[in-house]
């Protein structure tokens, strides 16, 4: 019994120390990787500061949670580097009243960041195993304004639209028309577009009443957009 109680105390202390270390790493990440570059939106910075990225990566990747790089999350997918998450979030110019669609849930990290800023997040993940674990993770962490669906994100989520903003976290060969249709007038969408296995352009779209404004923001690499018929 004494040995078991001692182990329990060590585990509790160790967990507390780790959480403190993660908090310090997260603060450093926000300052050095985001603020010292071009991320200035207060809501975005606050969200990245408060979402525990280490909870969204596999155990073996936790020591690298706050490094400036993408990390594998299984099923051939990755979690984007913090800077890209922040850059894409900032570009959408989100408001607290917004309803947002995310295509490509992955581990749920980007959805959690969005959820810290907006009213509601609807996120679609084609890999059923990732959708299932992301749902459990987001529920466990208290992100009750995020709803996850397993399905083909190319078609968006018609019954939950229209959306104030749409974020696509996988590289597409072209811009999916169903997503444009589900974007509100005045809404903004961000999506990596370009050839498979090549450098893609991170494209920002702003939907006006009679036109769609497109802006190329930066060159990026993303895992490919997967379709159900692939």
pLDDT in single tens digits along all 230 residues of the chain = 333 343 333 343 444 446 789 999 999 999 999 999 999 999 999 999 999 999 999 999 999 999 999 999 998 899 999 999 999 999 999 999 999 999 999 999 999 999 999 999 999 999 999 999 999 999 999 999 999 999 999 999 999 999 999 999 988 889 999 999 999 999 999 999 987 677 889 999 999 998 999 999 998 888 767 776 64
Catalytic position from the list 65, 80, 107, 120: 80
Q: Which is nearest to 166 in space by CA: 194, 133, 206, 215? A: 206
Q: pTM here? A: 0.89
Considering the segment(s) 2-220 as one domain, its CATH architecture is: 3-Layer(aba) Sandwich (3.40)
65 catalytically annotated: no
């Amino acid at each position: 019994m004494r040995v078991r109680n001692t182990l329990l105390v060590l585990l509790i202390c160790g967990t507390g120390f780790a959480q403190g270390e993660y908090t310090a790493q997260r603060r450093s990440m926000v300052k050095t990787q985001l603020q010292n570059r071009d991320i200035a939106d207060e809501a975005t910075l606050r969200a990245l500061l408060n979402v525990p990225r280490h909870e969204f990566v596999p155990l073996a990747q936790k020591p690298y949670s706050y490094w400036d790089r993408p990390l594998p999350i299984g099923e051939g997918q990755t979690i984007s580097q913090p800077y890209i998450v922040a850059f894409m979030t900032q570009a959408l110019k989100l408001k607290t009243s917004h309803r947002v669609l995310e295509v490509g849930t992955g581990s749920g990290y980007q959805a959690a960041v969005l959820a810290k800023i907006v009213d509601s997040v609807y996120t679609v993940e084609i890999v059923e195993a990732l959708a299932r674990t992301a749902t459990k993770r987001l529920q466990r962490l208290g992100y009750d304004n995020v709803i996850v669906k397993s399905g083909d994100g190319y078609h968006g989520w018609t019954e939950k639209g229209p959306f104030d903003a749409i974020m696509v976290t996988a590289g597409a060969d072209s811009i999916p028309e169903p997503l444009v249709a589900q974007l509100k007038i005045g809404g903004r969408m961000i999506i990596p577009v370009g050839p498979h296995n090549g450098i893609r352009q991170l494209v920002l779209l702003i939907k006006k009443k009679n036109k769609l404004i497109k802006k190329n923001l930066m060159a990026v690499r993303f895992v490919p957009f997967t379709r159900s018929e692939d």
